């Protein structure tokens, strides 16, 4: 208890003194209204309205015909301009974080017959960011096959190049050190090797902004992916509740009750969810054995606007997830042999509790200056329990982490400069417990536990300088300090440029920058050290990962279609990964000496084609390589013994989750009579073959593909019924034969389930 009180005290001190640099969920919308002779129209009424909710703002143009909306949450909006004597005009606009789209309205003189003119001018590709970004709304998530399940990751894997789930962990751009942000507030979790459970139920998401690399200095240092979530707020409802229930094969069900509403100044949303299935984690064989999963949780969001200059946002969540560890019950199979992962006698399970709370104060000093302050708290656990009949040992591992801190950032527009500045900090308390109960007669020793404290503090400043309307230069600096059993500092400059080609409206971009990621506070207990030593392993201190990334890309808009292509390279020192301790499901973080990740990426999204749907494509050609030695975490003792087996030969070799080619093609379509149909086709060229020649020839496992389908129909506007099939053809291959969580892994079996959704007023 004393250690916990110490941690909370540190968290409170940092929350009030070392506030956090962060990624925001806000942008701004600017523009000008003029008449057919390009003279500014003063006093025109401008209304900004969210396309999927009742959120609105309005103002009048100034004497230069200009308008600007600040602190606009990311999402899809419609801007309407009206003035006496002119026809009303509308444009659609997409707002991304830290961007300021500029719109031009030419109002036609009103005729005898009044009408609303909808501008056909496409939204220009932005020059205010060099970060490749994918943004989805709640309709995309609801209609994408499998994406709205509590444990589903299709909202990411179907739309983002090089994103996939292998050995039960989401990987992106060759790594799995991704970061989740709720309302722009980072939810810290340094225990990358422990968790497979979800951070947020997809059904609670209003907008999801996915960024991959080339981050401004005000963003964190997880170079592989940032998921910036705007949760549902209640602005999309008027005293309404949604009841969602599903049922399908593997005795699966995935249910939620959510309610929300709003007034002119407030909005609230709350939900409760529960799920279960006989298929949870990827299995070591095609059959599903000992693989049940269940979970439950709650989520809430509250927004209050006391006046036009201030907003308060509160978000809270509690979750608990349970996973059985799947097994191969045949003791004579290959997976239970000397080259596999013996599991036939195990009945292990993992329990993962998680909870977080964030509070944000958003203050607008004037149209050019925005301040955001956000304290936060996060609790995360991973409790591993061996089965009561395990032989020769029943292992119990408890790992909990508490994070407390706050964040503050100031965004100011000064002439042609868009400046972001702030500081970052959180305190962490890590507690580890370990006990081996031997069932083969080996004498037991008492359980052991250990706790450790640490913290991160950072300062950043970033400037987007608009040299001309078609050229923007971006420069930033991030200074980070980490302190625990070791202390480290990092200075990370970041540079970028974006240029628009006149007439074509193509935007070319480039980036070069440094990143530092603080290490996990993983400290082994005495018993864990003994277990590792018995299997020829040892432990070494973990140091932070340091990355250098460059990237070049182009965005090509054409009649509402958007093609984005980029080429990137990431060079990492002390590259963070994970490995299991011998033949066990106990994971521990490691750092490789060096890693090199290179890739080409393409995304293509269509407009709403003839009001009947949108097409999307994502493709990645990538290779992720690393080289010995392992420099920290679970390491081989010196001198290295042949039985250790962690190190790979000198030189770069593909890591276990490397896949050269990944393709997703999908379409979300609207049908007559309030129906919809959606599909996604996935192709993967195959992951690294950990045992070349034993089961499969060559350095890569077989290619694999899957087709997902979803059909739905709404009745009387309150009832929606849908049927979803994941991996319709039930094509199954072995995804991974490296010794990771649960041993080997096969891809998902065919899952078919029906969903009933009912909306009612209260």
Computed over every residue of the chain, the mean pLDDT equals: 87
Phi then psi dihedrals of residue 11, to 5 deg = -60, -40
CB 11 within 8 A of CB 404: yes
* Mean pLDDT, rounded, for 313-330: 94
364: which residues sit within 8 A by CB, 6+ positions away?
A: 70, 71, 308, 309, 310, 370, 371
CA distances from 318 to 147, 198, 295 (A): 21, 11, 11
Question: pLDDT tens digits, residue range 144-184?
Answer: 999 999 999 999 999 999 999 998 889 999 988 888 999 88
Contact 293, 277 (CB under 8 A): yes
Contact 140, 621 (CB under 8 A): no
Strands (E), 439-584: 448-468, 471-483, 487-500, 507-517, 538-540, 545-558, 561-580
The secondary structure of residue 20, as a DSSP letter, is: B
E strand map for 263-334: 266-277, 293-307, 310-324
pLDDT at residue 476, rounded to an integer: 95
Pairing between β-strand 613-635 and β-strand 661-671 as defined by DSSP bridges: antiparallel
Task: Give the lowest-confidence range in 34-43, 637-646, 682-691, 747-756.
Answer: 637-646
Instruction: Kindly state the tokens that stand for 3.
Output: 């250690």
Average pLDDT score over residue span 473-489: 94
pLDDT at 121 over 80: no
In angstroms, the Cα distances linking 113 to 35, 73, 89 are 18, 36, 14
pLDDT at residue 686 is higher than 80: yes
- At residue 236, does pLDDT exceed 90? no
- Which residues, in sequence order, are CB contacts of 613 under 8 Å at separation 6+? 667, 668, 669, 670, 676
Burial of 538-563, coded b for 16+ CB within 10 Å and e otherwise, reads ebbebbbbbbebbbbbebbbeeeebe
Beta carbons of 369 and 420 less than 8 angstroms apart: no
Under the banding of pLDDT at 50, 70 and 90, the label for residue 648 is low
pLDDT digits (tens, 9 = 90+) for 525-538: 887 887 777 777 78
Question: pLDDT tens-digit profile of 454-465?
Answer: 999 999 999 999
Q: pLDDT, tens digit, for every residue of 512-528?
A: 999 999 998 878 888 78
What confidence score (pLDDT) does residue 194 get?
A: 74
Residues 622, 597: contact at Cβ < 8 Å? yes
pLDDT of residue 130: 93
Task: Round to whole Å and give the CA distance between 133 and 127.
Answer: 13
Answer whether residue 647 shows pLDDT above 70.
no
The lowest-confidence range among 43-47, 127-131, 631-635, 642-646 is 642-646
Q: Quick one: what percent of the chain has pLDDT higher than 90? A: 51
How does pLDDT run across 263-275, given as a tens digit for each residue? 888 999 999 999 9
pLDDT at 341: 81
The mean pLDDT of 6-16, rounded to a whole number, is 37
pLDDT given at position 37? 66
CB distance 595 to 624 below 8 Å: yes
Q: Give tens-digit pLDDT for 54-94.
A: 788 888 888 888 888 877 888 888 899 988 878 888 888 88
For 165, the enclosing helix (H) or strand (E) is strand 163-166
User: CA-to-CA distance for 406 and 424, rounded, in angstroms?
Assistant: 7
Give the CA diameter of the chain: 96
- Between CA 608 and CA 563 the distance in angstroms is 15
Highest mean pLDDT among 28-32, 35-39, 138-142, 609-613: 138-142
- Whether residue 577 has pLDDT greater than 90: no
Higher pLDDT, 312 or 19: 312
Residue 423 confidence (pLDDT):
87
Q: Determine the Cα–Cα distance for residues 301 and 358; give it in Å rounded to an integer.
A: 10
Q: Is the CB of residue 718 less than 8 Å from the CB of residue 244? A: no
CA neighbor of 192 nearest in space, from 520, 433, 517: 520
CA 623/CA 567 separation, integer angstroms: 12
pLDDT of 10 higher than 50? no
pLDDT at 637: 65
pLDDT computed for residue 19 by the predictor: 34
The confidence score (pLDDT) of residue 36 equals 75
User: How many residues in the chain?
Assistant: 762
- Of 372, 443, 378, give the one whose Cα is nearest residue 408: 372
Q: Residues 327-331: what's their mean pLDDT?
A: 91
pLDDT of residue 193: 65
Task: Let me know: does 442 contact 534? Beta carbons within 8 Å.
Answer: no
**Beta-strand pair 266-277/253-262:** antiparallel
Residue 580 pLDDT: 76
pLDDT at residue 7 above 80? no
Residue 185 vs residue 302, higher pLDDT: 302
Interval 369-409: pLDDT, tens: 889 999 999 999 999 898 888 888 888 989 999 999 988 88
Task: Report how far residue 220's alpha carbon sits from residue 215's, in angstroms, rounded to the nearest whole number.
Answer: 8
| Neighbour count for residue 638 (Cβ, 10 Å) | 9
Which of the 8 DSSP states describes residue 125?
A: P
pLDDT in tens, 174-226: 988 888 999 888 888 887 767 787 889 999 999 999 999 999 998 877 778 99
Distance CA 269, CA 666 (A): 31
Most confident of 61-70, 535-544, 619-628: 619-628
Measured CA angle at 172 (ends 479, 100), to 5 deg = 60
pLDDT value of position 53: 78
Cβ contacts of 639 within 8 Å, gap of 6 or more = none
pLDDT above 70 covers a percentage of the chain that reads 92
Choose from 343-352, 479-488, 624-633 the range with maximum mean pLDDT. 479-488
Q: Is the pLDDT of residue 501 over 90?
A: yes
């Amino acid at each position: 208890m004393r250690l916990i009180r110490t941690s909370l005290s540190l968290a409170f001190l940092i929350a009030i003194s070392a506030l956090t640099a962060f990624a925001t969920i806000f942008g701004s919308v600017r523009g000008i209204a003029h008449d057919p002779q390009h003279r500014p129209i003063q006093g025109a009424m401008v209304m900004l309205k969210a396309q999927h909710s009742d959120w609105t703002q309005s103002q009048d143009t100034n004497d230069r015909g200009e308008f600007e909306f600040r602190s606009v949450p990311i999402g899809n909006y419609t801007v309407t301009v009206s003035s006496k004597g002119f026809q009303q005009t509308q444009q659609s606009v997409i707002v991304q974080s830290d961007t300021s789209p500029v719109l031009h309205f030419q109002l036609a003189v009103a005729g005898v017959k009044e009408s609303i003119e909808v501008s056909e001018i496409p939204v220009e590709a932005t020059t205010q960011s060099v970060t490749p970004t994918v943004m989805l709304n709640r309709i995309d998530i609801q209609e994408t096959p499998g994406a709205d399940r509590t444990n589903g990751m299709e909202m990411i894997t179907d739309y983002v190049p090089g994103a996939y789930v292998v050995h039960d962990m989401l990987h992106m751009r060759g790594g799995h050190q991704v970061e989740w942000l709720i309302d722009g507030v980072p939810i810290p979790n340094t225990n990358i090797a422990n968790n497979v459970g979800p951070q947020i139920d997809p059904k609670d998401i209003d907008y999801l902004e996915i960024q991959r690399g080339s981050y401004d200095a005000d963003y964190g240092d997880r170079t592989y992916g940032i998921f910036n979530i705007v949760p549902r707020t209640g602005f999309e409802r008027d005293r309404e509740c949604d009841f969602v229930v599903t049922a399908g094969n593997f005795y699966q069900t995935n249910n939620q009750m959510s309610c929300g509403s709003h007034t002119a100044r407030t909005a609230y949303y709350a939900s409760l969810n529960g799920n279960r299935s006989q298929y949870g984690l990827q299995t070591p064989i095609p059959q599903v054995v000992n693989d049940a999963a269940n979970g439950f949780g709650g989520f809430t969001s509250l927004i209050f606007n006391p006046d036009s200059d201030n907003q308060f946002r509160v978000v809270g969540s509690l979750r608990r997830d349970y996973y059985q560890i799947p097994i191969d019950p045949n003791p004579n199979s290959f997976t239970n042999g000397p080259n596999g992962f013996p599991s036939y006698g195990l009945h292990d399970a993992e329990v993962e509790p998680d909870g977080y709370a964030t509070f944000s104060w958003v203050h607008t000093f004037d149209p050019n200056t925005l301040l955001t302050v956000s304290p936060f708290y996060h609790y995360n656990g991973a409790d591993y329990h061996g089965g009561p009949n395990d032989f020769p040992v029943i292992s119990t591992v408890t790992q909990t982490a508490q994070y407390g801190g706050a964040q503050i950032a100031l965004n100011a527009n000064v002439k042609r400069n868009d400046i972001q500045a702030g500081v970052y900090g959180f305190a962490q308390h890590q507690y580890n417990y370990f006990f081996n109960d031997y069932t083969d007669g080996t004498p037991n020793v008492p359980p052991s536990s250990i706790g450790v404290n640490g913290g991160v503090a950072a300062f950043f400043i970033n400037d987007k300088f608009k040299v001309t309307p078609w050229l923007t230069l971006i420069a930033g600096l991030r200074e980070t300090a980490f302190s625990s059993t070791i202390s480290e500092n990092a200075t990370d400059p970041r540079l970028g440029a974006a240029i628009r080609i006149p007439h074509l409206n193509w935007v070319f971009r480039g980036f070069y920058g440094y990143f530092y990621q603080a290490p996990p506070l993983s400290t082994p207990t005495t018993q864990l050290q003994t277990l590792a030593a018995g299997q020829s392993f040892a432990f070494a201190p973990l140091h932070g990962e340091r990355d250098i990334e460059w990237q070049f890309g182009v965005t090509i808009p054409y009649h509402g279609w958007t093609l984005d292509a980029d080429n990137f390279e990431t060079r990492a020192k002390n590259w963070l990964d994970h490995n299991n301790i011998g033949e066990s499901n106990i994971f521990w973080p490691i750092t490789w000496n060096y890693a090199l990740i290179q890739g080409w990426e393409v995304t293509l999204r269509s407009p709403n084609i003839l009001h009947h749907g949108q097409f999307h494509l994502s493709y990645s050609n990538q290779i992720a390589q690393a080289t010995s030695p392992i420099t920290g975490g679970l390491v081989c003792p010196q001198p290295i013994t042949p039985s250790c087996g962690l190190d790979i030969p000198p030189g770069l070799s593909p890591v276990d989750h490397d896949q050269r080619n990944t393709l997703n093609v999908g379409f979300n379509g609207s049908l007559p009579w309030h129906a919809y149909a959606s599909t996604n086709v996935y192709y993967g060229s195959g992951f690294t073959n950990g045992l070349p020649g034993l089961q499969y020839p060559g350095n890569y496992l077989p290619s694999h593909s899957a087709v997902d389908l979803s059909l739905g129909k709404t009745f009387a506007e309150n009832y929606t019924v849908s049927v979803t099939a994941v991996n319709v053809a039930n094509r199954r291959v072995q995804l991974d034969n490296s010794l990771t969580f649960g041993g080997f892994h096969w891809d998902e079996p065919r899952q078919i389930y029906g969903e009933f959704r009912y909306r009612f007023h209260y």
